[in-house]
Amino acid sequence: MYDLIVIGAGSGGVRCARMSAQKGAKVAIIEERFYGGTCVNVGCVPKKLFVYASHYGEDFHDARRFGWDVRSSQFDWPTLVENKNAEISRLNGIYENLLKNSGVTIYNGRGRLTSPNTVEVNGETLQTKNILIATGSYPFKPDFPGSEHALISDHMFYLDSLPSHAVVVGGGYIAVEFAGILAGLGVSTHLIYRGASLLKRFDVDVRNHLAEELERKGIQVHLSNNIESMEKLSEKEFRLKLSSGDELSTGLVLYATGRKPLTHDLGLEKAGVTLGPEGEVQVNEHYQSNIPNIYAVGDVINRMQLTPVALAEGMYVSSQLFGGEPVPVDYERIPTAVFSQPSVATVGPTEEDARVQYPDLKVFRSSFRALKNTVSGNQERTMMKLMVDGATDKVVAAHMVGPEAAEIVQGIAVAIRAGATKQIFDTTIGIHPSSAEEFVTMREPV
C-alpha cells in the first residue's frame, strides 16, 4: 500500500513525489514517456537552446561594427540537434536519479486508475491512499483538409533538416518563439494567426511593440487569417490556401495553436473524477478533485501552463498531505517570459485589467535603442512599462520587450511581490549603463 502514487514524471509530479518521499511517505511514480515532462524534453529547455542558437546570426552581424571579422560563420542544424539531444539525455538522467535517491519507486508504463485507491500499470494493480495526476498537456492541432501534413511543436526538436521556407500558425508563446527561431536560423518565415493581434492575453503595448520588432526581423506576420487547406506537392513542398484567398508555397507548416490537458485513457472516469470542458481535472484550492484523495497539478488542471507554477502546486500538495505549511500559489502576480526575438517578460496585470482594479492608475513607459545597437546599427528597440496604483504608490505591474527581459523582470517581480512603491524604485540607484536602469529612472507618467 502506497501513501501516494503520482502519474506523470514532469516537473510538478517529480517535485511532489520527491518532497513527499523525503518526509517519510511511501511513494511511487509512473511515467510512460520521459522524465522531466514536456519542459525538459519537448518544451522550455530545448526551445531555449534553439533560441540561443538562432540569435547568433544577428550577433555575428552586429559584431562587425565592433571590429569583429565573422565572414566565415555558417550554421549546421544536425550539430545543434545532436548537442541538444545530449543535454536532454543528461537532464533525463538527473530527474531519474533525483527520484531514486529520494526513495521513490519508479514504474515505466501507462498508469490507469481502476478505482479511487487502485492504479494499474503494466498489468500490475497498485494500492494507494492518495493519487496525484500530473500528466501535463499535449499540443493541439485542428482538423482541416491536409492537416496530417502539418507538424506540432514536439516534431520541431527532431527535424532531419531545416527547410528554406516555413509557416508557423498561432499567436501565443510557442508560435512567436518558433517563428523567431526559424527566422534566426535563416528560414524565410511566415506567422499566421486568426486573431487581430499576437499574444492576446498580454499588455497592449507589449503586443504592438513585439509585432513591429518581429516584422523588422523579417518575419511576415498575417493577422486575422488562417489556413483553409494544405496540399502536399512533394516531400519538401506544400501548397496552402488561406482564408484571405491567398496561396503560399512552403516546406514546413508548424501548428502552435495551444495545448490541451492530457487526461485521455487514464481511467479518471472509472474513478469518478470530474473533468472540465477542455478535459482538465477540476480541482479546488487544495488541488483536490471531486474525489477527495485524488489530486492534480500542472498543465492537466489548465490554470497556468508554466513549469514553475507546476512545481509550486506540487510542493503545496506534498505539504498538504505529509506535513509542512502549504504555501498558496499567487496566480495574480506570476512572472512569465516569452523567448521571442526580442524577448518579452511581464509580471502583474495588463493595463486594461489594471485600470479596472486600480482607478487611480499611473502608467510609465519608455522605448529606446539600447546602447549596443547604437554602434552595431541594429534598429531593434526596447520597451519598458511600469504601472503604479496612485492611491498607495505601489508598483503593481512591469512589462518589458527587449534583450534579457526575463533576467531583468525576475528581479522586478520580487520587488512587486514585496510591495515596493514607486518612490522606492525612484530612489534606487540605477546600474549605468544598462537597459535595466530604465525601470528606476522613469519619472513622468504617460
Give the residue numbers annotated as catalytic, written as ranges: 432
d(CA 338, CA 343): 6
d(CA 196, CA 10): 34
d(CA 333, CA 288): 23
Residue 58 phi, psi dihedral angles, 5° rounding: -65, -40
DSSP assignment of 123-168 equals TEEEEEEEEEE---EEE-----TTGGG-B-HHHHTT-SS--SEEEE
d(CA 354, CA 348): 9
A 10 A CB-CB count for 369 gives: 14
Task: Please choose, from the candidates 153, 177, 149, the residue with its C-alpha nearest in 3D space to the C-alpha of residue 236.
Answer: 149
Residue 319 makes CB contacts below 8 A (sequence gap 6+) with 19, 325, 326, 327
DSSP summary character for residue 418: T
Angle between helices 173-184 and 204-216 (to 10 degrees): 20
Is 160 in contact with 246 (CB distance < 8 Å)? no
- How many angstroms from the chain centroid is the CA of residue 203? 17
